[in-house]
Structure 1
Amino acid sequence: MSNKTSRIALYLGFFGGGGIERITANLAHGFVKSGIKIDLLHYDRESPHLWRLPSETRIIPLKASTVYQTLPGIVSYLRREPPCALLSASHYMNEISVLAKIISGSQTRLIVAEHNQLSKTTRNATKLKDRLSPLASRLLYPWADGIVAVSDGVAKDLAQTAHLPLDKIQTIYNPVITKEMLANAAEPVDHPWLTEKKCPVILGVGKLEAQKDFPNLIRAFAKIRAMQEARLIILGWGPDRPQLEALIKELNLENDVDLPGYTQNPYAYMANASVFVLSSAWEGLPTVLIEAMALGSPVVSTDCESGPSEILAGGKYGHLVPVGDSNALADAILQVFAGNSKSVDSSWLDQFTLETATQKYLSILGVDPKIKICN
C-alpha cells in the first residue's frame, strides 16, 4: 500500500448529535486540513447531523437498517476501493469492521476505537449481544491493526474485561478543543437565566439516561436551593426525561430547573454558566467536561470510572466527588459559589486539542500527511 493516495474511511452507523459523532466530525476536519481524503460509511440515510462533516467528505450509504446488515456493504467497499485505513468509532461497528476486513481479504489498515467502559456496558446489559461483547472483543479485536481507547481508564477496563494485552491498546484523547468550539462559545446565549444572571446557574449537559445520573444532580440542586437562590439547566434529550420531570415536580423545583432539550450550541451555555457539573455514574472520556473546562467554566464532577480524574489531574483542575453522593455534589457546587474554584493551566489543555489528536490518529492509521500516501 506504499503508493496509495491517502484516503481514510470512517465508519459510524447513525450520525446524530451525540459525543462520538461530534468527535468523529472533528477528526474528519483535522484529516481534511492535513490533505487527507475522507469517506464516511453509514447505514442511516436520515442521519440529521451530517452537516458537521467537512464538505469534502464523500458519504457512502450502506443501504442497511441495522449495524449487522452493513457487513456485506463494507465487504464490498473494501474489495472495490480499499482506502489506506478504516477507523471504526463505536463498539458494535468495531466488531463488524473486523469481520468485514477478514471476509474481504483487504489490506486496509483497520483501527477500532472504544469510547466507553466495556465492563459497565456489559454489567447493565439486557440484551444477549451486549452480554457477549467481552467475548466478541477478545476474539475479534486481535485481528485489527490497532486498538484505541479514549482514556487510560477505558484502556485498562477493555484489557481486563476482554482479556486483551494492555500494551496493545493505545490511549488517544478525543479532539475536543477546536477553533469552531471557541467561536461558538462567544455567540450570544439563548436563555434568559444566563443573560439576566439574577442568581448562580448550574449547567449539566448529556443524554437523559441512566449513565449520566441526572437524578443525582437534581437532588443535589434541591439541597442547594434550600440554602440559597440558584437555578439549574440540563441540556440534552433521552429516554429518562419523564422520570426527571417527575422528580423535579416531586421536589417542587419546577420554577428553578429547566430541561430545554438538545441544542446545537451548548458552548455558549458553558461559557456563561456559574459552574458546570458532570454527575455521571460512569464514563469513557466525558467530552463535555473538557469543553467546559476549556471555556473557563468552573467544573465539578463525580469521580466515576473513567475519565474525570484524568481530565482534572486528580482534582487539581476541578472538584471531584463520589459517584451518587448528592450531599458531596451539593457541597462542591457551593464551594464554587463561594469562590473556591480551581484554575486550569493552559498547557494542560493541549492534549485535548484537535491538532494533537489528529497527529496521533494519523500515526496509528499509518498515513503520512506530508507525502500524501500510506505508510
Structure 2
Amino acid sequence: MPTRIACFFSTSGHSGVDRAAGHLIPALARRGYRVDLLKVRRHGPNLPEIPPGVRVIDLGSRHTYACLPAIARYLRRERPAVLLSDKDRVNRTALFARTLARIGTEIPTRLVFSSGTTISIDLATRGPLERWVQRNSMGRLYPFADQVIVTSAGVADDMAAYTGLARHLIRVVPSPVVPESLFTAALPRPDHPWLGDPAAPLILSAGELCYRKGFDTLLRAFARVRAQRPCRLMILGRGGERDTLLALAAQLGVADAFALPGYVPEPYAYMAHADVFAFTSRWEGLGFVPIEALAVGTPVVATDCPSGPREILADGRYGPLVPVDDDAALAQALIATVDHPLPPERLREAARPYGIEASADAYLNALGLPPCPE
C-alpha cells in the first residue's frame, strides 16, 4: 500500500499554518505520498484545489477535542505512517487519539508535533489557566511524541526554557514559504503610481494591522526618513488598527505619502517593485513576508524580534537588524538600505532554505520518511 501521511490541523483559515499547509501538502503528494488532511469543520486549512493523492476527511465536529474519537477510528482504519499536527490544543488531541487507537491493538503511526510561535511571549497576555495548561502540556506531554518540530531556533530555545521540554527533543525545520517559480519570475508591476517612481522610493510592509506587527514604530521611522528625503510608505493588509494608523500618519504629517491598500492575497509583485521591505514585528514565530521579499530580490530591514528575523537574515548578513520599537534606528537602516541595497541574487540566497521543495525534503526527514515513498 502507498505510504500515507495524515495532517491534523485546526486553524483560522488565514494564518501562517494555513499558508504552510497549503504549500506542504501538495508538495508531499507530488513526491508520491498519499496525504490525508483531517479537517475540523469550519476550520482551515482550506486548500484551493485538492491535488491528486490528497484526501480531505471531515472529522464530523466543529470542535477540536470533539474530533478525538473520529481521529482514533481513522488511525485504526488507515494506519498512516505519520500523524503531523500543529498548535498545542491540536497536538494534545492527536496524542490522546493515538493513545486511544492503540488500546488493544498495534498502531505503528509516528506522531510529530509542530509549533510555530514564541510560546513565552504568545502566552504572556493569556489567562493564568491557559498559560498553566499549555506550559505543562508542552513540558509533560510532548516527550510522548516521536518528534517535535518548530520554525526557528529562537522558537526552539524559548520552548525549552519556558516549558522544561528538553532542547534535544526539538528540531528546527524551515517552513515551506516560497514557490520555486518565485525565485526566477519576472513579476509585472502592479497598477499603482507609487511603484517604480525613482523620485520617491517606496518602503513596503505587509501583515495584519495589529499591535504585534509594530506598524506604529514603522510609521514613526518613516516620518523621520521623509523629513530627510522624498519617500512613500505602503502597508498591505487589514486589521483592527487601520484607523489608529491613519490617525497617527496624520498626526506625524505624512498622511499624503502613506497608503493602506488592504489585503493582497499574493503580494509578490508589490514586493518585487518596492525599494525596501520593512519587517517591524514585536514578536513572531518566523515571519513569512520578509522571506518572500528576499525571494524576489528586494532588500529587507527587520526588527531583531523573537524569533525568526535574525535567522532569516543570517545575523544581519542579508539585511540590517534593529532593536524592537526603535524608530530612530529603523529610520537609519531604511535610508542606508535604499542607498546601498544588496544585489538581488545575494538576497535570494537567504530565502532558498524556505523554498517549498527544499522545505518538503526537510519535513520528510523530520517525519522519518524518505524523499520518495519506497
Cα distance per residue 1:293-337 (max 9 Å; x no partner): 121101100011111111111111101100110111111101122
User: In 2, distance between residues paired with 1:209 and 1:131?
Assistant: 26
- Partner of 1:277, secondary structure, is strand
Letter in structure 1 aligned against 2:208: K
- Could you tell me whether the CA contact under 8 Å between 2:13 and 2:43 is conserved in 1? no
Selected match of 1:60 from 41, 57, 60: 57
Report which stretch shifted further, 339-348 or 208-217. Answer: 339-348
Relative distance call for 1:43 and 1:281 in structure 2 (3 A) is: same
Structure 2: 5+ residue runs without aligned partners? none
Q: What SS does the aligned partner of 1:192 have? A: coil
Partner of 2:97: 100
Task: Indicate if the aligned counterparts of 1:184 and 1:268 stay in contact, CA closer than 8 A.
Answer: no
Using the TM superposition, name which of 16-25 and 166-175 deviates more.
Answer: 16-25
Does 348-357 or 286-295 show the bigger shift? 348-357
2:12 and 2:46 mapped to 1: Cα distance?
Answer: 6
Structure-to-structure mapping, 1:108-123, within 5 angstroms: 108-123=109-124
> Counterparts of 1:127 and 1:262 in 2: how far apart (Å)?
34
Deviation at 1:131, TM superposition (A): 4.7
What's the CA shift for 1:66?
A: 3.1
Aligned-partner residue type, residue 9 of structure 1 = A
Distance verdict in 2 for CA 1:198–1:324, change over 3 Å: same
After TM superposition, give the deviation of residue 264 of structure 1 in Å: 1.4
Question: Counterpart in 2 of 1:19?
Answer: 16
Aligned residue for 1:169? 170
What amino acid maps onto 2:200 in structure 1? Answer: C
Q: Which amino acid aligns with 1:84?
A: A
Pick the aligned partner of 1:7 from 4, 9, 14.
4
1:63–1:238: structure 2 CA closer, same or farther, 3 Å change rule?
farther
8 Å contact from structure 2 (residues 11, 17) kept in 1: no
- Give the distance between the partners of 1:165 and 1:301, measured in 2 at CA: 30
Give the structure 1 partner of residue 366 of structure 2: 364
CA distance in 2, matches of 1:152, 1:6: 30
Corresponding position of 2:33: 36
Q: Give the Å deviation of 1:64.
A: 2.5
1:248 to partner: Cα distance:
2.6
Partner amino acid, structure 1, of 2:20:
I
Deviation of 1:76 (Å)? 2.7
Q: Which residue of 1 aligns with 2:87?
A: 90
User: C-alpha offsets along residues 61-86 of structure 1, whole Å, 9 cap, x if unaligned?
Assistant: 22322333332332232233232111
Amino acid in structure 2 at the alignment position of 1:28: I
The Cα shift of 1:127 comes to: 6.7
Q: Following superposition of structure 1 onto structure 2, how do residues 279-294 of structure 1 map, counting pairs within 5 Å?
A: 279-294=280-295
In structure 1, runs of 5+ residues without a counterpart are none
Letter in 2 for 1:353: G
**SS of structure 2 residue aligned to 1:361:** helix
Distance across 1 between alignment mates of 2:50 and 2:274: 28
> For residue 74 of structure 2, what is the aligned residue in structure 1?
77
After the TM superposition, list the runs of 4 or more consecutive aligned residues in structure 1 that deviate by more than 6 angstroms: none
The answer as to whether partners of 1:14 and 1:44 remain within 8 angstroms in 2 is: no
Classify the secondary structure of the residue corresponding to 1:132: helix
Match of 1:90, as an amino acid? K
**Partner of 1:69: helix, strand, or coil?**
helix
Give the number of aligned pairs. Answer: 369
Q: Hey, what does 2:275 align to over in structure 1? A: 274
Residue 183 to residue 97, structure 1, CA distance change in 2 (3 Å)? farther
Any conservation in 2 of the 1:25–1:53 contact (CA below 8 Å)?
no
Are the equivalent residues in 1 in contact too, given 2:82–2:367 (CA < 8 A)? yes
Letter in 2 for 1:95: R
- Report the equivalent of 2:195: 194
> In structure 1, how many angstroms separate the alpha carbons of the residues matched to 2:188 and 2:132?
44
Contact 2:206 2:289 survives alignment (8 Å) = yes
Identity fraction in percent = 38
Stretch deviating more after TM superposition (156-165 or 62-71) = 62-71
- Contact 1:11-1:42 within 8 A present in 2 as well: yes
Q: CA deviation at 1:103?
A: 2.1
8 Å contact kept, 2:322–2:329: yes
Shift of 1:187: 4.0
User: 1:6·1:367 contact (CA, 8 Å) conserved in 2?
Assistant: no
Are residues 1:304 and 2:301 paired? no
Q: 1:59 and 1:28 mapped to 2: Cα distance?
A: 11
Of 350, 353, 371, the match for 2:352? 350
Report the more deviating stretch, 122-131 or 101-110: 122-131
Root-mean-square deviation over aligned CA pairs: 2.4
